[in-house]
Structure formats: structure tokens, C-alpha cells
Structure 1
Amino acid sequence: MRKIIYLLLITCLVSCTYHLDLDTAGAKEKLVLYCFPSNSDTTVIQLSRSIPVGQNGKGNASIRNADVRFSVNGKEQEVYWNEDSTSSLPAQCYYTLGKCDTGDIIRIRTCMEGISTITAQTSMPGEFPLEAIHLVPSEEEESVLQVQVTFKDNSATKDYYGIRLMKKELNMMDNVENSSLESVEFDLKEEPLLNNTSDLDEIFIFSHGYFQNLYIWGDEKIQGQEYTLHLAMEYQEDYDSEWSDHTYKVEYKIYLYTFSPEFFKYLETLNKINKNSLGNHSFSPVLYQFSNIEGGLGVMGGCQVKETEWLKNVSI
């Protein structure tokens, strides 16, 4: 399960192309760090080196011989190297053991011969303030299921949130079971907190989709309030056909996130790149970049993840 949560967090993160101003990229290679401490009991540290513009070489190659220092609230933690992929770790990465708690300050310092030392810092946000979750079939549209998530924002802090829903389909026919798992893209027409579209967006070909269906928001509009998200998705009813020996069932799992400011800014960057449809049509190739790695490239950001059990489908 730890590996599933980790992959959900970074599937779209470490594989992204970095957009850099060639005038500031410089001619020297730099260390590239991706690290996302969480409330999981393992923190993965992925370290590689950049390839300067104009030089040949294989990019994103993991580095084994670096001096990696990882500390929580000033106390240094043991850092390990993992060579081959396991059930909980990707191949060729550093990692530490132990959960991070709300308010922890996490720092990394990494150096190796011939490359400038890099440093980074982040903090652990609080838990997602969940009040209730309801799956409600739409009374107006037959094929729509609404996911209602109620939470209470903390008025004393600046908070950043996220939600991702995974849908598992189970098909049984002739005693053979097939299953599929995918993230769900929500219809946001009834959710003003996440729906930022305007009449100009269609004219200028702007998209407001969320990258990898990870929906994020800050608490600017709901500071200190209780709020219920209304997220619509396609509804498919379970069925069990006696005459065809065919059974179909759906289950849902919801992941709720809180992010450090650094992590949230990075996710916003990914959304801006994903939404730049005009640039994809060669009219406006806008470049975005975010990094909080001093002396290098990449991102370090903290998050807490709360996941539900597999939720059974509802019936009308």
C-alpha cells in the first residue's frame, strides 16, 4: 500500500520536463532532487544530475555515491540506498524510515565531488480536516454520481488541499474475473471552488483540467469555514445478470491531501503547463518553472495523505 500511495503522489511529478531559461541554465551540471516527505513510514529521495545544454549524455541518471543528509527538526536521520525495485520502493533511490508529523521541519543537504552542494527545506502540513463523505446519485441526471466531501478549514493557518478518486471496475464472466483501476476526471460545473472556467477560455483554447486528475485548491475563499465539495462523475450501476453469467461491480477509493506551500506551488506549475493548450498549438509557448532546491533543480515538498477504504457503489 505504501508503494501505491507513493506512486499516486509522484507519477506525474518526477517525469516532468523542466522548462528553463537558457540564459540562466548555465554550462555546469547540477544535482536534481525530488523528495516528498509524508505521513507514510518511508520517505523516498530521488537524486540525479542534469545535462547542460549543448552536452551529450543520458539524463535523469540516478546517483549512488552522493553524501545525502536528511534531518527532521534538526535531528539527522539514517539514509539508505535501494538498488532494485521492491514492493514499497522504486529502483535506485535513497530513502529514510519513520513518519513525519504535523509541523515537522525537514531539511536535506546533498553533495558530491565535482557538483555544487544543494539544500532544501519543507514542512509537514496538518491532516485533512475531513467531516464526512457521501456518494449521491443525481436526481436530475440519470448517469451522474456526485461525490460530496465536507471538511472544516482551520482559520488560524494557511492551508492547501487536494483530492483524487480512484475507480475500480470488477467484471466477472464465465467465472473469469477482470479488473481495471483508473483515476476519475470530475465534472466541476457545480463546484465553484475548483471550476475556474470563463467564456474567454473556449475562445483562446485554454483548458482548466487538473493534471493526472489530482484536484488542488487553497483556502483563500473558505478561510475558517466548513465547506462541502460537489464533484460530479459518470455513474454506472452494479448489475448481476443471471442469464449471461455476467457480474459488474464498481468500487471507489478517495485520497485526500494537504500540502506544504512548496508542494502546492509545484502542483500549480504542473497545472499551468497542462492547461497551456494555446502553447500546444504553437501560438504561445509559455514557459513555467518552480523549484525550491538551493543550488540545484527539482522539488522538495511535504504532504499528508488520508485514504478511505474501498467504497461500495450506490444504487438508485
Structure 2
Amino acid sequence: MKKRDIYILPAALLLLSACYKDIDMEKYRPDPVIVVNSAISSDSTIMASVTHTWFYADTKPYEEHYANLPQARVDLYVNDEFREQMEWGQYLPVDSLNEVPDSVFKSHVVPKSGDCIRLVVSADGYQTVTAETTVPAIVPIRKAECVDITERINYEGNVGDGYGNTVKERYYALTYNLTFKDEGGKSNYYALTCLKTDEYYQTYYHPHIESSDPILSENSNALDGSIGFDGISTGYSFLFTDKQIEGQEYTLSFEEWVNKSDAEQSSQLLIRLYSLSEEYYHYLYSLNQVAGSTLDEALGNLGFGEPLRVYSNVEGGTGILGACNSSETEVTVQITPAS
């Protein structure tokens, strides 16, 4: 019995060694293509980042200017009319937070709502690429208000009560309603985000928001919540369309979570409603799917579904040319702690 075990062990090791094989990854290196990244709106001039793809095994992308293409030619068209050749320049200086200077191609054009914007980008050694998007109209916020404040228990979080005991964390759920009017006769795309001011650091931060509104939750997979996935919500923003409210006035409902220990007598919430171009919506949606905890993403990673890819509207290359506009309002809430 022992002698047979001795024979089996070398055979098993030989089988295991056969599982390893040296692979020359250079055989799979693709030709680099131009990458265009630009998000435009009607309140600023058009700018675009132009770089190129790089192979995952490369280390040079982390070196200064390696991926930039300052020698590229970027032609800007507005409503099929050539407007100008965009100029390359440094956008952000080198500092403690930005070790590599950011650079973009800049124009002198401020687009208007309804303008069709097209970029044609060429560079020696690369295939010429094109990208196109239409600037959406601003959708005004008609009304925004806090309609309910409820104290709740966070069953997933524990805190100390100051007397050496551990208790369940409590928070306030502030329910907001936001009303807007969708423009009928076409497909429209939206994003809802919220910001608060950090008085100490004098900066904005994203508070935690949740919603069971059928419009805000239209992109959630019905199976996600039931089997332990969180869906594509980032916790501070929502992507949605007008598929269910085309041409109607609608009131969105969502909750902000405020820790009881952090609650102040008054709370200001800055609410922004973005109108998105179709291309920008699909790009952001695909990013959320890839980065979020969703069933689709998990199945793809395990090989049981199609891998998720980030959306691109750059023909001949990759990246995104998208457009958006926003309206905003601030709601002040007086929080009265329970006795």
C-alpha cells in the first residue's frame, strides 16, 4: 500500500507540472489606437483629451506624457460645419496631487443646446478616428423639498454609546421630492446627484442616497437585491431615462441618510439634475455596470456570461465624446432630534 503511494506521488507531480506553460505575450500585442475623452456642456469651451492605448504589460504609461498625443490634429465641427483646429496645451500644472501634468486640446467654441458636435482626430502612425454627440437641453427643476424625516436603525453598523456599551447605529432618513418636466417627442437621458458642504474642509462631498422610486431604479437588475448584489447605484447618484415618463411632469423620490451623531440642527443638500446625451448615458451606464456589484458583472467575471465592455462612440479608436447640461437647487432642512 505504501509502495503504491510512492509511485502515485511522482505521477501526480508530473501532471501538475504539465499545467504550466510559458506564454509569449508579445504575440498578442495589438496596434495602439487613438483614445478620445471629452465631456462637453453649454457653459464652457470644448476641450478633449487625446491619448493612445497601451498594452497591459507596459510600464511606460506611468511616465510623463507617454500616452499623450500632442502632435495629433483635432478638427472640430459644429452642425457639420468646420469651426477650428483645436490647440494642444497644458491643463493642470504639476503639484502634490498631480505628479504628471494633464494636457488637453482646447477650442474657442462654447456649444449651445441642440448643437451636434463632431471631432475628427488624426496622428501619424494611427488610424483617423471620429466621434459625434448632440448637446442636450437644460431641464429645469420645478420643485424640490424635504417631505419627511424619520429616525431609523442601521442594522449593519454598531457604535459605542459612551458608557462602554455597543449599540446599533442610528440615522435620520430624509425623504426628498424633486419635480421636473420631460420634453416629449424624443428619448431623454438623465442623472441625479447630490452634494453637501463640508464646513471644516470647505469642500463638497457626496452624501449617501437611496431610492425605491421606479424611475430611479429602472436600471437595477430584479435579481440583484434578492441574491446579495447591490446593483449599479453608486450610493450618491442615479442614471435613468424617460422610458416610463415620456413627455410628462414627474416627481422623483429619494432618501438621504444622515448619521444621528453627525446630524446638525440644519442640513443643506445641493441637488443636481443632469440631462445627458445618449452617448454619455451609455458610457456612464457601462462604467457603473463594470465597477458596480451586479449579477451581470459577477457572471462575466466568472465566465458564465458575456464580459462587460465600456461603451465607446469613437469610431476607429476608443473613448467617449459625450455632452451634458445641469440644473441645480439647494434644499435646507431643519433636523429636530427625537427626545
TM bin (shorter chain): 0.7 to 0.9
State how 1:78-89 maps to structure 2 within 5 Å. 79-85=86-92
SS of the aligned residue for 1:154 comes to coil
SS of the aligned residue for 1:287 comes to coil
State how 1:210-229 maps to structure 2 within 5 Å. 210-211=233-234, 213-229=236-252
State how 1:155-234 maps to structure 2 within 5 Å. 155-170=184-199, 177-179=200-202, 181-189=204-212, 191-196=213-218, 200-202=223-225, 204-211=227-234, 213-234=236-257
CA contact (8 A) 1:41 1:97 kept: no
State how 1:50-69 maps to structure 2 within 5 Å. 50-52=53-55, 57-58=60-61, 61-69=67-75
Query: Is 2:92 aligned against 1:72?
Result: no
Cα distance in structure 2, aligned partners of 1:139 and 1:28 = 57
Measured at CA, do residues 140 and 96 of structure 1 come closer, stay the same or move farther in structure 2, by a change above 3 Å? Answer: same
- Find the counterpart in structure 2 of residue 49 from structure 1: 52
CA contact (8 A) 1:257 1:305 kept: yes
Cα distance in structure 2, aligned partners of 1:203 and 1:230 = 22
Cα distance in structure 1, aligned partners of 2:136 and 2:308 = 29
CA contact (8 A) 1:136 1:314 kept: no
Q: 2:43 aligns with which of 40, 45, 55?
A: 40
Cα distance in structure 2, aligned partners of 1:144 and 1:40 = 34
Cα distance in structure 2, aligned partners of 1:184 and 1:194 = 17
Cα distance in structure 1, aligned partners of 2:222 and 2:173 = 24
Deviation sequence 1:1-26 (CA, Å, 0-9, x none)? xxxxxxxxxxxxxxxxxxxxx9xx97
Give the drift of 1:207.
2.2
Cα distance in structure 1, aligned partners of 2:193 and 2:243 = 21
Give the drift of 1:277.
4.6
- Find the counterpart in structure 2 of residue 238 from structure 1: 264
Cα distance in structure 2, aligned partners of 1:185 and 1:53 = 34
Give the drift of 1:206.
2.7
Please tell me the residue identity of whatever aligns with 2:137.
G
Measured at CA, do residues 181 and 128 of structure 1 come closer, stay the same or move farther in structure 2, by a change above 3 Å? Answer: same
Measured at CA, do residues 223 and 26 of structure 1 come closer, stay the same or move farther in structure 2, by a change above 3 Å? Answer: farther
CA contact (8 A) 2:173 2:255 kept: yes
SS of the aligned residue for 2:334 comes to coil
CA contact (8 A) 1:39 1:305 kept: no
Cα distance in structure 2, aligned partners of 1:55 and 1:104 = 39
Query: Is 2:334 aligned against 1:314?
Result: yes
- Find the counterpart in structure 1 of residue 302 from structure 2: 283
Measured at CA, do residues 226 and 250 of structure 1 come closer, stay the same or move farther in structure 2, by a change above 3 Å? Answer: same
CA contact (8 A) 2:232 2:289 kept: no
Query: Is 2:281 aligned against 1:264?
Result: yes
SS of the aligned residue for 1:271 comes to helix
Query: Is 2:131 aligned against 1:112?
Result: no
Q: Which moved more, 1:195-204 or 1:28-37?
A: 195-204
Larger radius of gyration: 2
CA contact (8 A) 2:74 2:85 kept: no
TM-score (norm 1): 0.76
- Find the counterpart in structure 2 of residue 9 from structure 1: none
Measured at CA, do residues 156 and 266 of structure 1 come closer, stay the same or move farther in structure 2, by a change above 3 Å? Answer: same
Q: 2:316 aligns with which of 292, 295, 305?
A: 295
Give the drift of 1:210.
2.2
Cα distance in structure 2, aligned partners of 1:41 and 1:178 = 27
Measured at CA, do residues 33 and 193 of structure 1 come closer, stay the same or move farther in structure 2, by a change above 3 Å? Answer: same
Measured at CA, do residues 214 and 116 of structure 1 come closer, stay the same or move farther in structure 2, by a change above 3 Å? Answer: same
SS of the aligned residue for 1:207 comes to coil
Measured at CA, do residues 118 and 261 of structure 1 come closer, stay the same or move farther in structure 2, by a change above 3 Å? Answer: same
Please tell me the residue identity of whatever aligns with 2:326.
V
Please tell me the residue identity of whatever aligns with 1:153.
D
Please tell me the residue identity of whatever aligns with 1:195.
S
Unaligned 5+ residue runs, structure 1? 1-21, 171-176, 240-248
Measured at CA, do residues 97 and 314 of structure 1 come closer, stay the same or move farther in structure 2, by a change above 3 Å? Answer: farther
Give the drift of 1:45.
0.4
Identity of aligned residues (%): 24
Deviation sequence 1:165-208 (CA, Å, 0-9, x none)? 011132xxxxxx5545311231213x121225577324544321
- Find the counterpart in structure 2 of residue 7 from structure 1: none
Q: How many residue pairs align between the two structures?
A: 273
Unaligned 5+ residue runs, structure 2? 1-24, 94-100, 153-170
SS of the aligned residue for 1:102 comes to coil
- Find the counterpart in structure 2 of residue 15 from structure 1: none
Please tell me the residue identity of whatever aligns with 1:233.
E
Cα distance in structure 2, aligned partners of 1:80 and 1:212 = 38
